[in-house]
Amino acid sequence: MKLIFFNNPKPKQFQYKPRFYNAQKEVLEQRIKEHELSQEQSEGERIRMKMHTDWERQRVKRETKHKTWRSLLILIALAAMIFYIMFR
């Protein structure tokens, strides 16, 4: 019979597999796919696809604009708080 006073189990292995995201490649693949589909689709389908991509671009622009304003407002609020604390 074997006595083990200090049982040190091995640590569990963490299997991290990094993933690479290339936004430009994804946009290019989407445009290629749209072009291939546009050759097969009717006029109405092409218009619908173009409207979808235009709306997506506008949404992304709007989101980045909102992020910029939000960052600016946070910066102003922090500056005001620091000014109030320092010169109270």
pLDDT of amino acid 42: 74
Mean pLDDT, rounded, of the chain: 84
Is the pLDDT score of 80 beyond 60? yes
Q: Is the pTM of this model over 0.75?
A: no
Percent of the chain with pLDDT over 70: 91
Q: Domain-by-domain residue ranges, the chain? A: 24-86
* pLDDT, tens only, 9-45: 788 888 877 777 788 888 899 889 888 776 766 777 7
b/e map of 11-44 (b: 16 or more CB within 10 Å)? eeeeeeeeeeeeeeeeeeeeeeeeeeeeeeeeee
pLDDT of amino acid 3: 62
